[in-house]
A and B are shown apart, each in its own frame.
Chain A
């Protein structure tokens, strides 16, 4: 059966002969064979073309693909600052980010825990071994010390302990430590601003596209240092609790220096909650006393109620207003000109002028000068004065600076408006070329009159600020001696001065917190050498302002010309 089947399979119906050649020579079969071969080659060719096409497409796609940007931040993984630098107006670095390390301990990798504690205690004698041992036994991973200094890092690294892990972190560094403590503020562990400029400009400082451009402030490092040094000296001279200073460009509101003492080291991250560390200039709210008399006189002049030479008659020694008895510190004549009232700083005289003005006008003027609303500056720490209730006697007391609180920043800004031609300019800490918005608050003629009266406060024989008459700077200003709003036994002495250096106008505010009589200090008063015997503003803050102007005047004069300030000092010997 099988053989039959095999035979039948071999049998071919088309076979014409039994010769092998004859079998292939048949035309139909030959054609079909060739077709098969051709089809196979074609398929092979198609496969190759298809493969080449795939490769070609891939090559094409790769060639049109944009190469990955090899930016600084992607290539150099070790360090890429995440916050912008902060610089002063001359480009001096104030705040920058650097790489530091946190030391953590992975407990399961520590073989001999007792030995590690001993080693760490030897290197860091201040550590609490109990807490460390507890952490080692109970926690898998914990931080031993954050933000190591170079020395600490080396000490730990040289221990060669496997369980100590170094975590790279970025940290803000302040090369001038205490100098800008109340201005710059601090950042938290995650590099977010928590106070000062670091807080206010937080979003701007972490903008990646601006990373290479530092944030430029209006402050001047050298002037800040000079004022800081003079204030520290004055604290020890007058045995004061603290001090504050503000230097501002009267025309554009740029804050050149802002100092509040006591200060603190920004590099040491300590919690500072004590009241004494409050920013006295922007957050401190005080009754600033007699400096308000300038506003009263300015308003009276602006409303054409009086002129500087108008004689105010019948000025009594004391005025009874409700329960209060208002009097002057000294006995003044009962007839004084408006100019004299301001020069001699008469409370009763100013009160009489205020009564001539009336409450409504006075109230709106206080509002215009932004003296009783929240202070405005690019800082997180801003004070809001106590709200003013215009009850009986308020106009009288406010006219000479009592019963009204404000921040020194607001008072200085209002003074800038008094002397710069009558424009209120918002104070600023950020340096930009944009034109500042100016609001007119008094007439130019009023501003001129006020300037000349304030100059006489410094030059006149009865003026309260004679110690600030520094040659060459046309110093003018007004003193203010007052008490703490909450503690009437403590004095707050203030002097707001205005001076010109190389045709630029500056406002300088100096404040001393509860200064005492400097009995060892010898004043040069009208050519006489006299020892300290009084405690009013004219005998302390004015003296300090004079010293400050003497030192910063040359720097400011040269700074305006964009030259370096290397020649502002000379060799003494």
Chain B
């Protein structure tokens, strides 16, 4: 009664239609998951943001100095320039010079 071609194309169309709706449904579920995850992420980001603000307050130099004076009797003084070694080579060079001076003094002592 109907053309065969029309029937076949109709069938293919139906199969594709079902397939599309299935895919669409799966996508919807995935989107839901993504939405929930994003919600969680944003919540965590908010918490992180609050924690950062808290941290910056708790680690501010003024706060730390106050706490240090409250809980510790130890005094800290700035390091003098001669005690700062900015690289390992700086330190080694200083140590080498020190050793040289010590050796010289030792030799002088033995001579005496």
| Pair A93/B52 contact, Cβ less than 8 Å | yes
Residue from the list B13, B60, B76 in contact with A570, Cβ < 8 A: B76
Assembled-state Cα–Cα distance A96/B83 (Å): 38
Known: A67-B31, A75-B42. A92 touches B56 (CB 8 A): yes
A:56-82 near B, CB below 8 Å: 56, 59-60, 62-63, 67, 70-72, 75-76, 78-79, 81
Residue from the list A81, A96, A225, A551 in contact with B78, Cβ < 8 A: A551
| Pair A561/B86 contact, Cβ less than 8 Å | yes
B43 / chain A contacts, CB cutoff of 8 Å: 76
Looking at the assembled complex, report how far the CB atom of A54 sits from the nearest CB atom of chain B, in whole angstroms: 12
A382 / chain B contacts, CB cutoff of 8 Å: none
Does A573 belong to the interface (CB within 8 Å)?
Answer: yes
- Which of A410-418, A534-542, A552-560 sits within the interface? A552-560
| Pair B53/A173 contact, Cβ less than 8 Å | yes
Does B82 belong to the interface (CB within 8 Å)?
Answer: yes
| Pair A96/B52 contact, Cβ less than 8 Å | yes
User: Please, what's the 1-or-0 string for B25-57, where 1 marks a CB less than 8 Å from any CB in chain A?
Assistant: 001000100110011011101100110110111
B13 / chain A contacts, CB cutoff of 8 Å: 52, 56
Does B74 belong to the interface (CB within 8 Å)?
Answer: yes
B20 / chain A contacts, CB cutoff of 8 Å: 59-60, 63
Does A47 belong to the interface (CB within 8 Å)?
Answer: no
Does B11 belong to the interface (CB within 8 Å)?
Answer: no
Chain A interface, DSSP helix/strand/loop, else mixed: mixed
| Pair B49/A81 contact, Cβ less than 8 Å | yes
Assembled-state Cα–Cα distance A67/B27 (Å): 10
| Pair B62/A572 contact, Cβ less than 8 Å | no
How many residues of chain A are within 8 Å of chain B by beta carbon? Answer: 49
A67 / chain B contacts, CB cutoff of 8 Å: 27, 31
A81 to chain B: closest residue by CB: B49
A69 to chain B: closest residue by CB: B38
A:92-115 near B, CB below 8 Å: 92-94, 96, 98
Known: A76-B46, A96-B49. A221 touches B77 (CB 8 A): no
How many inter-chain contacts with C-beta < 8 Å in the A-B complex?
118
User: Please, what's the 1-or-0 string for A461-476, where 1 marks a CB less than 8 Å from any CB in chain B?
Assistant: 0000000001111000
A305 / chain B contacts, CB cutoff of 8 Å: none
Does A327 belong to the interface (CB within 8 Å)?
Answer: no
| Pair B53/A62 contact, Cβ less than 8 Å | no
B76 / chain A contacts, CB cutoff of 8 Å: 569-572
Known: A76-B46, A79-B46. A179 touches B62 (CB 8 A): yes
Looking at the assembled complex, report how far the CB atom of A336 sits from the nearest CB atom of chain B, in whole angstroms: 33
Assembled-state Cα–Cα distance A450/B92 (Å): 35
| Pair B80/A472 contact, Cβ less than 8 Å | yes
A175 / chain B contacts, CB cutoff of 8 Å: 53, 56-57, 60
A225 / chain B contacts, CB cutoff of 8 Å: 60-62
| Pair A471/B81 contact, Cβ less than 8 Å | yes
Known: A72-B41, A72-B45. A558 touches B84 (CB 8 A): yes
| Pair B78/A550 contact, Cβ less than 8 Å | yes
Does A567 belong to the interface (CB within 8 Å)?
Answer: yes
| Pair A221/B57 contact, Cβ less than 8 Å | no
A:255-283 near B, CB below 8 Å: none
| Pair B78/A569 contact, Cβ less than 8 Å | yes
Looking at the assembled complex, report how far the CB atom of A340 sits from the nearest CB atom of chain B, in whole angstroms: 29
Does A239 belong to the interface (CB within 8 Å)?
Answer: no
| Pair A568/B75 contact, Cβ less than 8 Å | no
Residue from the list A63, A96, A176 in contact with B60, Cβ < 8 A: A176
B35, B84, B87 — most chain A CB neighbours (10 Å) = B84
| Pair A572/B35 contact, Cβ less than 8 Å | no
A568 / chain B contacts, CB cutoff of 8 Å: 78-79, 84
User: Please, what's the 1-or-0 string for A164-188, where 1 marks a CB less than 8 Å from any CB in chain B?
Assistant: 0000000001011101000000000
| Pair B79/A554 contact, Cβ less than 8 Å | yes
| A-B contacts, 16 listed (Cβ < 8 Å) | A59-B21, A59-B24, A67-B27, A72-B42, A75-B42, A79-B49, A96-B53, A98-B49, A98-B50, A221-B61, A470-B81, A554-B84, A557-B81, A557-B84, A569-B76, A569-B79
- Known: A60-B20, A176-B62, A221-B61; 13 extra A-B contacts, CB below 8 A, are A52-B14, A70-B35, A75-B35, A98-B49, A98-B53, A175-B56, A177-B62, A225-B60, A554-B81, A557-B84, A558-B84, A567-B79, A568-B84
